[in-house]
Amino acid sequence: MAQIAHTEGEANTSQARQEWSAAETDGAARDLLRRDADAFLHQSLSSPCVSTIAKAEGIWIEDVAGRRYMDFHGNSVHHIGYGHPRLIAAIKDQLDSLPFSPRRFTNDVSVALAERLAEIAPGDLGKTLFTTGGSDANEVALKIARAATGRFKTLSFWDAFHGAGFGAASVGGEATFRSHIAGPLLPGSEHVAPFHCYHCAYGHPGPENCALACAKMVDYVLGREGDVAAVIAEPMRAVPVVPPAGYWKAVQAACRKHGALLIMDEIPTGLGKTGEMFAFEHDGITPDIVTLGKALGGGILPIAAVVARNDLDVCGDFAIGHYTHEKNPVTARAALTTLDIIADEGLVERAATLGLAALDRLRATVGGHANVGDIRGRGLMFGVEIVSDREARTPDPQLAEAIYYACLGKGLSFKISSGNVLTLSPPLTIARQDLDDALTIVEDALRDCAA
């Protein structure tokens, strides 16, 4: 359970974490944590770790002392749960039949995966390149945009996350992944305020819909710069925040007006998490390029993908994603089987149904609580905003942390986003009873800790 108690942007060990760790961590766990801290480079949100993991199965993770937790975080890889037996069988079979493919050779399973992605993607998104991680996928997308437009500038959003590489961190907007880098980031990386910025979020909308005013700022900056290659964005912010109606249509219209491509980063939200195969489908748009990752490997193997419009296949004379494992048949088989499982088990529709039920229940049970500012999300990616003043929507990170550790003590793991949002993202395979049990844990912890 590495990172189990790290909230976004947290750098120091909190009192709540120390208390939980002292109560819950046994000798074997402490020894493993010490070895981890001695062996790994330290970095925010990752290492040193605060707990251990010995087993992952279905919706559950288990530590070395045998304590089990429903995992409502999973780094967004566990759409089909951990260790899905059908996926494990497929990977074992592929290891026996073809374990590797040199890059200049092709293989049937990799081609089949590219064909499947073209089938499920809307519009003319039909040309694919595989990478080993989402950060790389986003950087490939940026290279395609540069080649297709002859421009080098980008426009993205403060607070966004697109990966940890130099290019991905440059277009991202989270300070954790930018502030430590000495010297310049990628040149031409322009940023604007996202939807749900301070004014949108905290009740200062001005004379018009604030979020659509933010979309007009995209139009303004694209026009002012005049030479932006692409706008790259998360269709739904994973903190989580749902875009307002009409926002992405306005942004897409601005991109077309000014000759910029629209890249949608679906790495945490795609493949059914929000109740549609792609989160941007909620908003009635189709981007020029979409990136996928995380859950594509079924929670076992790392693989990501860039899927572009057919006419954006313009990079044949140079390398844009020269990866050793570009067409690895084992990771491709994992992804293809994951897509089969999502389709065969109706997991996209399941996410929509269960997510709506969860939001309705939380709004009914704690929506009026004095320390709840907002309850929001789509599908099985939803969150509860914890505040000290409901009217002013003043964030209360201390209360959020207390609730978090109370839930952890009852067997529920999730993450805190933006310092005060309980962010819940269970596997799409979760049983309704397990989901209800988890919501009961959250509701009880909120009431107890607030009292």
Is the full-model pTM beyond 0.85?
Answer: yes
Q: Would you mind telling me the total number of residues written for the chain in this entry?
A: 451
- CATH, domain range 85-344: 3.40.640.10
Dist CA 178 CA 169 (whole Å): 6
Structure tokens at 387: 């505040």
Dist CA 69 CA 196 (whole Å): 32
Burial class (CB in 10 A: 0-12, 13-18, 19+), 120: middle
Q: Which long-range CB contacts under 8 A does 431-436 form with residues at least 24 apart?
A: 432/354, 432/357, 434/59, 434/70, 435/354, 435/357, 435/358, 436/361
In this structure, which amino acid lies at residue 326? Answer: E
Sequence ranges of the chain with CATH classification 3.90.1150.10: 347-395+431-439
Per-residue pLDDT of the chain (451 residues; tens, 9 = 90+): 333 444 443 434 466 666 666 666 678 888 999 999 999 999 888 888 878 999 999 999 999 999 999 999 999 999 999 999 999 999 999 999 999 999 899 999 999 999 999 999 999 999 999 999 999 999 999 999 999 999 999 999 999 999 999 999 999 988 888 877 777 889 999 999 998 765 565 554 444 566 678 899 999 999 999 999 999 999 999 889 999 999 999 999 999 999 999 999 999 999 999 999 999 999 999 999 999 999 999 999 999 999 999 999 999 999 999 899 999 999 999 999 999 999 999 999 999 999 999 999 999 999 999 999 999 999 999 999 999 999 988 999 999 999 999 999 999 999 999 999 999 999 999 999 999 999 999 999 999 999 9
In CATH, 347-395+431-439 is 3.90.1150.10: yes
Dist CA 288 CA 234 (whole Å): 14
Q: Are 345 and 306 in contact (CB under 8 A)?
A: no
3-state secondary structure of 162: coil
3-state secondary structure of 381: strand
Sequence ranges of the chain with CATH classification 3.40.640.10: 85-344
211-241: burial string, b at 16+ Cβ within 10 Å, e else: bbbbbebbbebbeebeebbbbbbbbbbbbbb
DSSP 259-297: T-EEEEE-TTTTTTTTSSSSGGGGGT---SEEEE-GGGG
Dist CA 399 CA 411 (whole Å): 19
